[in-house]
């Protein structure tokens, strides 16, 4: 069995139209998770620190960072504020 890199594997997967469509559906969740993680680490906060600042608990932050949550706008505003950011929502072409 030949070893391949994740990049090579992803390239192969993206040739599958159904896979590509499903990936596109969840892309916003993973983008949000990436932004939360990057901003949290940039200012040196742990998940627990961020949770306290956002008036929530560490489990909620963990779920957000693992794209395993369906957060309310109100929660996202608290998290953004705790990170020194604001929420910006835009509608884009499909």
Task: Write the CATH number for 81.
Answer: 1.10.260.40
Question: Is 17 a domain residue?
Answer: no
Q: b vs e for 15-28, b when ≥16 Cβ sit within 10 Å of the residue's Cβ?
A: eeeeeeeeeeeeee
**Residue 9 Rama label (left phi>0; alpha psi -120 to 50; beta):** alpha
pLDDT of residue 68 exceeding 90, the answer is no
Question: Is 4 a domain residue?
Answer: no
Q: Which domain, by its residues, includes 78? A: 26-94
Question: Is 69 a domain residue?
Answer: yes
Split into its structural domains, the chain has a count of 1
Question: Is 72 a domain residue?
Answer: yes
Question: Is 3 a domain residue?
Answer: no
Question: Is 52 a domain residue?
Answer: yes
pTM for the predicted model, two decimal places: 0.79
| Tens-place pLDDT, residues 5-54 | 989 998 999 999 999 998 888 888 899 999 999 999 999 999 999 999 99
Identify the pLDDT of residue 23: 87
Which pLDDT band holds residue 1 (cuts at 50, 70, 90)? low
Identify the pLDDT of residue 28: 86
Identify the pLDDT of residue 69: 85
What number is the average pLDDT over the span 58-85? 95
| Tens-place pLDDT, residues 76-93 | 999 999 999 999 999 988
Question: Is 13 a domain residue?
Answer: no
Task: Write the DSSP symbol of residue 23.
Answer: H
């Amino acid at each position: 069995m030949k070893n391949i890199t994740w990049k090579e594997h992803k390239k192969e997967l993206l040739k599958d139209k159904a896979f590509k469509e499903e990936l596109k559906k969840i892309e916003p969740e993973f983008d949000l998770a990436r932004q939360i993680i990057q901003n949290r680490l940039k200012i040196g906060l742990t998940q627990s620190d961020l949770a306290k600042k956002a008036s929530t608990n560490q489990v909620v932050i963990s779920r957000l960072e693992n794209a395993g949550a369906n957060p309310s706008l109100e929660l996202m505003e608290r998290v953004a504020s705790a990170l020194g950011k604001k929420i910006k929502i835009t509608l884009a072409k499909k």
